[in-house]
Amino acid sequence: MSIINVGLVQHACTGNLEDNLAKSIEGIRDAAENGAQLVVLQELHRSLYFCQVEDTDLFDLAEAIPGPSTELFGELAKELGIVIVTSLFERRAPGIYHNTAVVLEKDGSIAGKYRKMHIPDDPGFYEKFYFTPGDLGFEPIQTSVGKLGILVCWDQWFPEAARLMAMSGAELLIYPTAIGWNPADDQAEQDRQRNAWVTIQRAHAIANGVPVVSVNRVGHESDPAGGPGTEFWGTSFVAGPQGEFLFEADTESELSVVVPVDLARSESVRRWWPYLRDRRIDHYGDLLKIYRD
């Protein structure tokens, strides 16, 4: 399969879990009706982005994998004959929780899962309180539409993660995301942050010669502790293997869109931009150090 139709579902979330689920399902169905073979949802699409505060009661949002969400989205994938990438708060064991992306195959089975490896701890993004770092490594997931390199949000800032996925044969890098502005920042700072987010991911496409799909949420979510909250900036996009935009959403709209992606172009691009060929792995040993003093 060379060209695959990739669906992106970008939407706002509220404290009503059923409403959020309905939006995700509606977006998936709309994308499938428009020819999507693969549909990607945003990070933690089931709920508000709860990591704005540290609250032990919020661990109740977590669920087992397999569990209710994988069963529901598996049935939907089977009904529609598509592959779905979800993002769930995984309860692995008492006291062990992960930020986990799950891929449902078109027969309804779980094709694989990825546990977020890089866990941030910043104002408004207190993820280290909730998530144990992933232990599944950077392993692509084989599906009927190709080999998918699934990564999650904060992972998108690390070129090492994208490189390892590409080196393992990923044909497409996929980033479910929840990222936004602090409303107290001025417009110039907001623009710098959003542009940096887009640029780093386009760079992963270029450096590895593979397409990138990034799906983010939209809307303002209040801080339960009384802070300014977060304004999620949307801008879900698809970039080709030279970093070219195949699609870019705006910062506010809820949408379901289908984007054709030619996986065969990666072969052509890598022939004239052979970054993998010219890597000097014999001199990269210091990358295993935190810092060169």
Could you give the residue numbers annotated as active site?
Answer: 43, 116, 153
Q: Are the CB atoms for 62 and 89 separated by under 8 Å?
A: yes
Tell me the pairing of strands 83-93 and 38-41.
parallel
Q: Are the CB atoms for 165 and 134 separated by under 8 Å?
A: no
Q: How far apart are CA 151 and CA 140, in angstroms?
A: 9
The number of residues in the chain equals 293
Q: How far apart are CA 101 and CA 114, in angstroms?
A: 5
Encoded amino acid at 214, one letter: S
The SS3 of residue 175 is strand
Token pair belonging to 285: 């040993």
Token pair belonging to 39: 């549909």
The DSSP H or E segment spanning 83 is strand 83-93
